[in-house]
Structure 1
Amino acid sequence: MKKNYEYLCALRKVMKEQGIDACIISGTDPHQSELPPHHWRGREWLTGFESENGTNGTVVVTQDEALCWTDSRYFIQAESQLADTGFKMMKEDGPEAVDLIDWVTEHTNSGQTVGIDGMTFSVSYAQRLQQELNDNGVKLNTDFTPFDIIYPDRPERPKNKLFVHDEKIVGQDVDSKIEAVLKEVKGELANAILISALDDLAWVTNLRAAGDINFSPIYVGFLYLDEKGSRVLFIDEEKLSKEVEQHLDKYHITTAPYDSVKDFVSKLSKDTRLLLDPQKTARGIYDHVGCTPVFGGDGVAKLKSIKNQTMISNLETAMEKDGVALTRFFMMVEKEYPGGKLTEVGLGKALRALRLSDPSCVDESFSPILGWNAHGAIVHYEATEETDVAIVGDGLLLVDSGGQYIYGTTDITRTVALGTPTQEQCHDFTLVMKGHIALSNAVFPAGTTGHQLDVLARQFLWKEGKAYYHGTGHGVGYFINCHEGPQNIRLNINPTPLEPGMITSNEPGLYLEGRYGIRCENLIVTEKYETTEFGEFLHFHPMTLFPFDLRLFETSIMSAEEIKWVNDYHTLVRERLTPLLTADEAAWLAEKTKELK
């Protein structure tokens, strides 16, 4: 058995000592972050199911069972990493899905106690859990913090310095953002707000940090705002430089210790109506609120999702820089591939170096996914020294990567053939691209949601009995998180409409376990198309600038409109990138963007 089994035994001992019959451990932090700092990644340490990109997983442990729930993106990875740990993988989506809370209620009895760390579960999740448990006479303890005992080498909370994100690049100052947020607060019949989500916090304050969160320049803290003018940033003071202190003073934002937030909300005046987003606020904070809580959407995510023209223009600059780095990367791949010395890990390091050679690129936006053949079928594959393979023979290389530029966040996936592709690979690639093109070409009335458009990307795969089970598109931040809401494009119903200024990914795929994976991703911005007697219509414009592999298109199953889209897009790529390239690079790009017939 792996070392993780010892950790599991230690956890069960603590549970027994504290009267906990079952515990639930999340994979997040007090801010409900997708990528929590390592201080809060105890679930990964406990189970061994981990990744630099973070993993979606929630654990349930009893004295007899140890289960780890995850979604379809991670099934293959979880099965492998959980082997010999004492943990069993459970599927949270797909035909074999089991609801975690249903499982817990079915496996606990009246009078027993379930333990959670309330600071790592949202109010909404904990409320549903508590209701289900109460119905069965089971108690919920929200102060169960076993990692304080069993995790002796737990990393400290991040203490990285903050820096100001220049308002000339952002296009909006902090005062106007706070004014917009408080307008949303008033609309929810509240007079104060506690902002917990770290990307929302970074957006409102125009502050960033390098290193708090892997691959995202956001920082750890909370922000309280109210209509009386109080503005309090809860943060570890070691993180503040003189420049940042001056920035905070300029906008009348005071500071308080990070750990004082619970005491602060417990002492708010009774006439305070504190707006809390139940999906973003930790149950452990809510339990201390001494005023009237108001549950509702805080509006910050919506404000953040709509990029102004300054941001969009700057993001175009970031895309050009990204396109140059990718051109140099794939040129290198083609040149070195015949020598048989390329590896997945080596390619990841090379791509990172090329991006970071531009001074405006602070970091990657996630750990790159470089999957050769069978590894490409693992949706969130991460090459390590243990899994690394050489890029030899014929096959498909899937490269999903991105950069955190001060001008914006990029995220792109390309699948390329090395050697000679098979007819089946070309056919599958073209099915995926037909879906990508259909979504790219969509024209739709204002008010349309991503859920209503999602089928456009899946239709051609479905017609042949094929499918992918991840979302087609996610929102993308502006030098914040690579993944952001509230909009998305996926099968699940999401009431948020797509609006002008929203940046969203378009990334259909197909994955044949043990063989190869295909994903084709651009970032697209929603724009106004036209206004007619029937109302306003919108469409998408591609932001990403890099060609798709012409060798993989099966033109016999493509329409004239689809072929035209590819040629028009490649013309755009060539026109935007060529002035930034050397003569050799420009010649290579010209070959990769030649007319598809």
Structure 2
Amino acid sequence: MQIRQRVQSLRESMASRTIDAYVVTSGDPHQSEYPPERWRGRAWISGFAGSAGTVVVTVDRACLWVDFRYYLQAEQSTAGSGFEVFRHGEPGVPDYPEWIATELGSGARVGVDASTMSVSALAALTAALAPRGISVDAGPDLLDGIWTDRPGLPAAAVVPHEVRFAGQSRGEKLSALRARMTAAGATHHLVSTLDDIAWLFNLRGSDVAYNPVFLAYALITGDDAVLFVDRNRIDESLRRELESDAVTIEPYDDVAAAVGRLARDAVVLYSADQTSAGLAAAIPSSARRLERINPTSELKARKTSVEAEHLRATMGRDGEAMVRFIHWLVGAVRAGERVTEIGATDKLLELRSCGDRFVSESFHPISGYRGHGAIVHYAATDKTNSVLEPAGLYLIDSGAQYLDGTTDITRTIALGEPGKDERRDFTLVLRAHIALAMLTFPVGTTGHMIDAIARHHLWNERLNYGHGTGHGVGFYLNVHEGPHRISSHPNSVALEPGMVVSNEPGVYRAERYGIRIENLLLVVDAGSSEFGAFRRFETLTVCPIDRALIETSLLTSREREWIDDYHRHVRERLLGRLDGVVAEWLDHACAPLAN
């Protein structure tokens, strides 16, 4: 069934329910950034496979909203399909609720899937449309009746994540969570987010590509916990282990019924951003609701000292793979070998998979040569797969899942002699990266408060980037993790010791090149003074930054010192893992900057 036929089938389903517009989001019942194949409905109906976007279908229009990361990709992937692409965030471009409010008249009905739209998203949509007399029908998933070959639910085994990696037992995590619940006055905590559940119970799965999570819900009280998951996915040994921690297993589909049976005086804590409207509606009307950030998310974000030590070791193995990759890549391309964007990532995966405790990639790698690098979340296909040449810039954003940590790194590499503009842009991005890496900040500082510190070097030259500066990263969990982030969008979560966050400013020149430099940072204590306690960042990632792209005349002495110190650290961490020509290459790549 082609895209136009799918849209027409959806319109017929809408007509049968007297719905004038239907919204298809990117989420699943767990508000996952990367949903299992069963819930990739927005990609199925539109043909756009990026991780974020919203579709609205009316009687005569089909529209797709995407952010800066996907402007070019969305327009390319929907060409000829009848979809209109709205560049969300650009001046004069309405968001989808605003567009619906002006497109439809009073009395119109907008349909959404209650099982996948979050409580907060539904409330925002309803509030935006109500003044225009437009109602929202939170009902069934209309794609269900037309997506005839829709994938089923995953069924792979759920497995334990060893305490020697996690640093805390299941019982210790449940005790810490219950202390937070008591402080909030909650009798129950309803958890839908898959990474929170995997973290809390020290379990892992493989239901979502690149993310070691499994489909489940959890309901925790002061004495016990219920894990809603397909019983057949947990073996007898693990079931007994869970029972010893007062964890009961119930069927995945029974969560709404269980929530509906809560006592009249229950006080239920859940995240409005991470709980579906359909599940929240099952909470008895007599129960009190506490809508706030999941305490599981807050606890998970702060890595233990054991996890931090594992991460440092993991970065060494990942850095070794990256060094071997860059050495191979530059040598092969300059020697005239045929290397493609896809072939390059295949080689990197091969090198990473040789490392101890490797499990998988942590996301689909972004392998962009020349203009493809300017497509922020570019995904090479057989049709777009460029051959790399000994000229121009190549951007590789990739990462891996290891039993003892998750990695995410971006490097921009000169495959030939870089031009003046390339060196200037790269150096400005590097200065933005260094500004954040060197920062010391007071307790209570949020990522929103420091985002401009990275951007100001670019702003001074009338440059900017449309994505966030940094996102949280899980521990053998999701590569994108909240609740903290470094972004121009307001966020009230303070950066606390143990949090891991990326540092990835960039510059993107359409059809020419993209530049991004990304390391992972660990928030650590920085001592105190008469003005209070302070924090700083420890850079975890160890991989050389391409010195051929650095215009040293644009750097301050402190910035030059940071680069030389960083490369000295990379050399010390990695040289012992290498030998021969690769060790020689690393030694040269980490040499001090020339005066």
TM-score (norm 1): 0.97
For 1:9, the aligned partner's letter is Q
Matches within 5 A, 1:344-355: 344-355=341-352
Q: Single out whichever of 117-126 and 94-103 deviates more from structure 2.
A: 94-103
Q: Is 1:102–2:98 an aligned residue pair?
A: yes
**Contact persistence 1:342–1:390 (CA under 8 A):** yes
Percent identity between the two aligned chains = 39
- Quote the residue 1:571 is aligned against: 568
Q: Deviations over 1:107-129 (max 9, x none)?
A: 23333321111011100111122
Q: Is 1:544–2:552 an aligned residue pair?
A: no
Selected match of 1:76 from 69, 72, 75: 72
Q: Single out whichever of 6-15 and 449-458 deviates more from structure 2.
A: 449-458
Q: Is 1:377–2:374 an aligned residue pair?
A: yes
Distance 2:293 2:469 in 1: 24
Q: Structure 1 residue 541: deviation in Å?
A: 0.9
Distance 1:556 1:199 in 2: 45
Distance 2:316 2:582 in 1: 14
**Contact persistence 2:107–2:133 (CA under 8 A):** yes
Q: Structure 1 residue 34: deviation in Å?
A: 0.4
Q: Deviations over 1:441-498 (max 9, x none)?
A: 1111111111111112111111111111110001111011001111111111111111
Q: Structure 1 residue 230: deviation in Å?
A: 2.8
SS in 1 for 2:72: helix
Distance 2:395 2:415 in 1: 11
Matches within 5 A, 1:251-400: 251-290=245-284, 291-337=287-333, 338-400=335-397
Q: Is 1:589–2:583 an aligned residue pair?
A: no
For 1:476, the aligned partner's letter is V
**Contact persistence 1:437–1:562 (CA under 8 A):** yes
Q: Is 1:558–2:555 an aligned residue pair?
A: yes
Q: Deviations over 1:72-110 (max 9, x none)?
A: 100000011111112111122132431211222222333
Matches within 5 A, 1:441-460: 441-460=438-457
- Quote the residue 2:409 is aligned against: 412
**Contact persistence 1:188–1:296 (CA under 8 A):** no
Q: Structure 1 residue 9: deviation in Å?
A: 0.6
Q: Single out whichever of 503-512 and 493-502 deviates more from structure 2.
A: 493-502
Distance 2:358 2:91 in 1: 42
Q: Structure 1 residue 318: deviation in Å?
A: 0.6
For 1:26, the aligned partner's letter is T
Q: Deviations over 1:323-376 (max 9, x none)?
A: 111111111112211224000010111111111122411110101111001000
Distance 2:251 2:93 in 1: 42
Selected match of 2:511 from 510, 514, 533: 514
For 1:413, the aligned partner's letter is T
**Contact persistence 1:8–1:86 (CA under 8 A):** no
Q: Which runs of 5+ in 1 are unaligned?
A: none
Matches within 5 A, 1:412-451: 412-451=409-448
Q: Single out whichever of 432-441 and 177-186 deviates more from structure 2.
A: 177-186
Q: Is 1:173–2:172 an aligned residue pair?
A: no
Q: Single out whichever of 578-587 and 543-552 deviates more from structure 2.
A: 578-587
Distance 1:149 1:319 in 2: 46
Q: Aligned-pair RMSD on alpha carbons? A: 1.3
Matches within 5 A, 1:445-524: 445-524=442-521
Q: Structure 1 residue 218: deviation in Å?
A: 1.1
Distance 2:172 2:371 in 1: 50
Q: Structure 1 residue 147: deviation in Å?
A: 1.6
Q: Single out whichever of 294-303 and 192-201 deviates more from structure 2.
A: 294-303
SS in 1 for 2:310: helix
Q: Structure 1 residue 137: deviation in Å?
A: 3.1
Matches within 5 A, 1:42-81: 42-51=41-50, 55-81=51-77
- Quote the residue 1:192 is aligned against: 188
Distance 1:427 1:136 in 2: 50
Distance 1:8 1:249 in 2: 47
Distance 2:212 2:234 in 1: 15
For 1:223, the aligned partner's letter is A
**Contact persistence 1:325–1:354 (CA under 8 A):** yes
**Contact persistence 1:500–1:528 (CA under 8 A):** yes
- Quote the residue 1:527 is aligned against: 524
Q: Single out whichever of 194-203 and 86-95 deviates more from structure 2.
A: 86-95
Q: Structure 1 residue 181: deviation in Å?
A: 1.5
For 1:148, the aligned partner's letter is D
- Quote the residue 2:26 is aligned against: 27
Distance 1:239 1:86 in 2: 42
- Quote the residue 1:239 is aligned against: 233
Distance 2:468 2:434 in 1: 16
For 2:417, the aligned partner's letter is T
SS in 2 for 1:348: helix
- Quote the residue 1:154 is aligned against: 150
Task: Report the count of equivalent residues.
Answer: 591
Matches within 5 A, 1:110-121: 110-121=106-117
Q: Structure 1 residue 134: deviation in Å?
A: 3.4
**Contact persistence 2:115–2:140 (CA under 8 A):** no
SS in 1 for 2:151: coil
